[in-house]
Structure 1
Amino acid sequence: MAKLLTVVGATGTQGLSLINAALEDGSYKIRGLTRNPNSEKAAALAKRGVELVKADINDEHSLIKAFEGSHAVFAITDFFEPFVAHGPEKAIEIEVAQGINMAKAASKTATLEHYIWSTLPNGKKLTDGKYIVPHFEGKNRIDDYIRSDKALLAKTTFFWISWYGNNFAYPIFTPNFLKTANAYIQLSPARPDTPIKAIGDPHKNIGVFALAILKQPHLTLRPQGRFVLAHSEETTAGKLLSDWSEVTGKPSKYVQTSLEDFSAVWPGFGMEMGIMMAMWSEVRDRSWSGEEGLLTREELGIKESDLTSVKDGYSVMDWKALL
């Protein structure tokens, strides 16, 4: 009998990518958790054989019921929804509560064998407190909670997903045309030579990594609490833009600015994402580090040919609508 894989956020980028990979693999019965099982995306998954269950990650009891019978759970939180509504401090508070709800529910799931928690590196620890990136910080606090539950920790893989190949779709990263320069300008508080680890097209590649984690527990659960870094290529902040120009045929210029000026151009999101870019610019090759025994693509046996590139991610995007 196929084991049950339960995916939180089934219609989002990460959850859907894993579901697509798991459906293609055929080894699992899949349950997708969503706030709205009647949405078009949920209905499309149901037609493909996914069991859709309504669940609220703000409600531990809702999650206990939704996780019932699961052998594996993929867990994710969305920092940015509460961030838009309430700002960074409240968003961290909400995200931490949601992550702990999921961890508690997972700990109470008798059948659970594997818990994949989608998180991010600890920038505060990497920089001795100089850079605290809010959408990292909440996840790091959830990491600490999972570590405090030794039984759950023994079943947990911490999953780091690097730069999305479609991040340029977000206005804060989308190059903007400037007539006087006759080029599309991208502002950033990071130096153009800042090393960036990228996941390529996240709709494809996240599922490849998550499925490899599930199918190799001898690697991803031993010793307990292993970390996995998902990236398809090594690039730089400047090359992300030059690759974009190559794919779109649009001339571009990379303009480094201060964090304060970047924040002024993009109120709210400018500081949130700018802190991350500034940290990466300073920490450089240590940006995705800080944990022992970090597993990468090579250790998981994932071939480069199994993955898409950042350019592949750019090529499937509708730039006429975005620019």
Structure 2
Amino acid sequence: MSSAKPLLVVLGATGNQGGSVIAHFLSVSPSSYALRAVTRDPSSAKATSLASQGVEVVVGDFDDPKSLDKAFDGASIIFAATDFVQLMLSASLRERAAATGEPPGFYIRDYEAQQNKNIIDAAAKVTTLDRFIFSGLPNVNKLSEGKYAHVYYCDSKALAEEYGKAKYPQLWEKTSVFYAGFFLENLIGEDGAFRPTLNKSKDTLIAQKGEPLTTVLFPWYSAVQDTGPFVAALIHAAPGQKLLGVNQWLSLQDIYKIMAHTMGKAIRFVDSTPTISIGDPEFQRAHKGLIGFSVEFGYDGSKVDKTVLRPEELNKSIRLPSVEDWIKQQDWDNILQCE
């Protein structure tokens, strides 16, 4: 696609983070960038919807470096995000892990790390590239000195980030890293992570209050609504920044109280700790490890790593709808189940 505008290439364009980046720049009129969405399946409903809005949609496979070379051709900016959850749910990858005798969590950690290394290798070849925005997370195992060794979806991205920084110093001079906070979408997604319930008469919200998750402050944000503005801020800031994606620091109890108030319902807390509904023990172990790490070292490792910025430290002009506004937008009566 030829265009006088600089080209912004978005990986994971049909997912939460990449989709938010595309949506944000589509909403800016006139847009400063030509947009290219990279997806494994350009015939999917989300991909065809993007194409109908004027976005160039191309095939790109994180396991196929040659496809990435083509997808990145002419790019001025690349935003890269991968999805550990989908990899972890892959039956074929679990079979391959079993064949090696390696636990699936570690096998798929290394698999996602390699996908990101492929992306970084391809980005390093792009002579037109001005900025690389990498969606990463802290090296939990390293920062905790091995105490939390099973937070696979953080370490997979961190290993690739360390690889890129060491192997491609010139690329890393024009790279910024985005650390996504806790997704508000976890309250409404199919797995129902952290979702409360309603009583039978639907006049009371029933929520769990177990320690430490529900009382400790965590960085919540909407991956769908907020990622785009954060990435835009990183693009316009000096390179070399690490930014935490946080809208508000809230505990789950805070969120439940906002939900109850918004819905006009009473709230009753029960003595148990919410957890992700994905029953896989590797997911449960990773989730427990992340919570423990967050309490002890900070979600972004900020108690030991002082390089990660808060949004107000990067750009004071970033303005996002509040978490309460996001909650008001949801159709909770249809989302929440009754006890």
Residue 285 of structure 1 and its aligned partner are, at CA, apart by 7.5
1:169-212 superposed Cα distances (whole Å, 9 cap, x missing partner): 24232124578xx752336552533121122x322211111011
Q: Which ranges in structure 2 are unaligned for 5 or more consecutive residues?
A: 95-103
Pair 1:10 & 2:5 matched: no
Select which of 297, 300, 309 maps to 2:311: 297
Q: Which amino acid aligns with 2:107?
A: K
Counterparts of 1:198-277 in structure 2, within 5 Å, are 198-199=220-221, 201-216=222-237, 219=238, 221=239, 225-248=240-263, 249=265, 251-253=267-269, 255-257=271-273, 266-268=279-281, 269-277=283-291
Q: Which residue of 1 aligns with 2:206?
A: 184
**Residue 82 (structure 1) aligned to one of 81, 87, 99:** 87
In structure 2, relative to structure 1, the CA distance for the partners of 1:290 and 1:4 (3 Å cut) is farther
The structure whose residues are more often helix, as a share, is 1
**Any conservation in 2 of the 1:186–1:255 contact (CA below 8 Å)?**
yes
Letter of the structure 1 residue corresponding to residue 327 of structure 2: Y
Q: Is residue 99 of structure 1 aligned with residue 121 of structure 2? A: no
- SS at structure 2 position matched to 1:52: strand
- 2:334 aligned with 1:317, yes or no? no
- Relative to 1, partners in 2 of residues 1:288 and 1:311: Cα closer, same or farther, differing over 3 Å? farther
- 1:137 maps to which of 155, 165, 179: 155
- Residue identity opposite 1:61 in structure 2: K
Measured in 1, the distance between the counterparts of 2:309 and 2:297 equals 20
In the TM superposition, what is the alpha-carbon distance from 1:253 to its structure 2 partner?
1.6
Deviation per residue, 1:250-309 (Å, 9 max, x gap): 62426455xxx96899443332222212322333587445444433322333446x2022
* 8 A Cα contact 1:2 1:29, kept in partner: yes
Counterpart code for 1:156: T
Shift of 1:130: 1.1
Deviation at 1:45, TM superposition (A): 1.0
Q: Percent identity?
A: 29
Give the deviation of 1:94 after TM superposition.
1.6
Q: What's the CA shift for 1:317?
A: 2.6
Question: Are the structure 2 counterparts of residues 277 and 241 from structure 1 closer, same or farther at C-alpha, using a change threshold of 3 Å?
Answer: farther
SS in 1 for 2:89: helix
2-structure distance, mates of 1:281, 1:255:
20
Structure 1: distance between partners of 2:78 and 2:152: 25
**Alignment partner, residue 46 of structure 1:** 51
The superposition leaves residues 148-182 of structure 1 with CA deviations (integer Å, 9 ceiling, x where unpaired) of 12122112101111112222124232124578xx7
In the superposition, the TM-score normalised over structure 2's length comes to 0.83
Distance (whole Å) between structure 2 residues aligned to residue 215 and residue 263 of structure 1: 36
Is 1:31 aligned to residue 47 of structure 2? Answer: no
SS at match of 1:251: strand
CA-to-partner distance for each residue in 1:109-141, whole Å, 9 max, x for gaps? 111111000011222233222113111110111
Alignment partner of 1:57 out of 43, 57, 62? 62
When structure 1 is superposed on structure 2, of 226-235 and 48-57 the one drifting more is 226-235
What is the root-mean-square deviation of aligned Cα atoms in Å? 2.5
Counterpart of 1:172? 193
Matched residue SS, 1:166: helix
Amino acid at match of 2:68: L
For residue 176 of structure 2, the aligned residue among 157, 176, 195 is 157
Number of matched pairs: 310
AA of the residue aligned to 1:147 = K
Distance in 2, matches of 1:138 and 1:241, equals 31
More divergent stretch after superposition (117-126 vs 144-153): 117-126
Shift of 1:246: 2.3
Aligned mates of 2:299, 2:84 — CA distance in 1: 25
